[in-house]
Amino acid sequence: MLDITVIWKTLGRLATRVPYTITIAFVSILISTALAILLSMIKIKKVKIASALVELYLSFFRSTPGLIHILLVYYGLPLVLKPFGIILDASGKDLYSIAALSLSYAANLSEILRPAYLSIDKGQHEAALCAGLSGFQKEYRIILPQVIPIALPAMGNAFIELIKDTSILFVIGLTDIMGSAKNIITNGLGINKVEIYIAAGLIYLVITTVGNWGNHFLEIKCQKVKKHQ
């Protein structure tokens, strides 16, 4: 028999970790988006050597589980940075988490942005340049406003998945929503596990539902802007 009182009390305790979890996810979204744009441009422009490295990167991160990415970053990043005199200890869990999520989702976002970019007619690129726009102005003023509405639905879904994937960061000791739930279970000697997991699930449900609403709102706004162009 489920104890509703335990679920309610746990909801209150886990809710205090929501801002922290959202912050980790938000920073990861910003970094992964910037990195995805760079990766997409390298592939689109077919930069020598760099394109092959990007293809290898995309293949690895899109074909392996997020848990592997987190563990590799957590244990591998300190080893990579140590020769450069940068020492990271286990207290930098925020950095490890953001790095792992950013690297993982940049690969997914890149494969969303690239097809959206390529779907824009080449004639528009040529027309923008003939009109005297620089390469940057062409991308920012002409191409990007058309790419965003095309890529936004898939990007929004990817962002929701990123938020849900924060739930596996507890494996490196991050005290986000799921990490806090695991601590409550441990401190309670494993009692009321089901109730605690239900409480954690409800919080993620609320967060992702709000995220889906926000994504839907942005889609509508982009469609309205597109109609008025």
Dump pLDDT digits (tens) for 152-210.
Answer: 888 888 999 999 999 999 998 888 999 999 999 988 877 889 999 999 999 999 999 99
CATH number of residue 180's parent domain: 1.10.3720.10
Dump pLDDT digits (tens) for 3-50.
Answer: 889 999 999 999 999 999 999 999 999 999 999 999 998 988 888 889
Q: Which domain holds residue 101?
A: 4-227
Q: Give the pLDDT band (50/70/90) at residue 215.
A: confident
Q: Three-state SS across the chain?
A: CCCHHHHHHHHHHHHCCHHHHHHHHHHHHHHHHHHHHHHHHHHHHCCCCHHHHHHHHHHHHHHCCHHHHHHHHHHHHHHHHHHHCCCCCCCCHHHHHHHHHHHHHHHHHHHHHHHHHHCCCHHHHHHHHHCCCCHHHHHHHHHHHHHHHHHHHHHHHHHHHHHHHHHHHHHHCCCCHHHHHHHHHHHCCCCCHHHHHHHHHHHHHHHHHHHHHHHHHHHHHHHHHHHCC
Number of domains in the chain: 1
Dump pLDDT digits (tens) for 67-79.
Answer: 999 999 998 888 8
